[in-house]
Amino acid sequence: MFTIPLYVILLLYFVCLAVIASFYLVFVYHLITTASFTAISAFVVILIFAITAVVVYFTFQLLAEVDWSLLMVEFNYSNWFNF
């Protein structure tokens, strides 16, 4: 029997967070190395970081009660070969 537990979704979410964090780092690096880290860009960076923090915080708040051991997909392939 092949099953996909629900926590796979959580793992995928963490991968997405890592990818997005790396993009953010590249953007901030660009702003700093091109003499573009001014008051305006600092404000935008702080605003984006704050919205991101709010999104992630509320995501984990909503997911706090979830039972991650539930099965999302279940394939019982042993039946496939029983003719």
Partner 1 sequence: MSIAFLIKQKNYEKIVYTLRRHWLTFFPAIALFLVMMSVPVLVYYLAGSIFPNFWVRPIFFPISVVLTSIYCLCVLTFFFFRFVEFYLDLWIVTNDRIIDIEQLGLFSRSISELDLFRIQDVSSEVHGFFPTIFRYGNVVVKTASSNSHIIFRNVKNPNGIRENLINLSHADRRFHIGVEEE
In order of 3, 26, 39, the CA distances from 57 in angstroms are: 29, 23, 26
The answer to whether residue 53 forms part of the interface with partner 1 (CB under 8 A) is no
Minimum distance of partner 1 from residue 13's CB (angstroms):
5
Residues in contact with partner 1 by the rule CB under 8 A:
6, 9-10, 12-13, 16-17, 20, 23-24, 26-27, 30-37, 40-41, 44, 48, 51-52, 55-56, 59, 62-63, 66-68, 70, 72
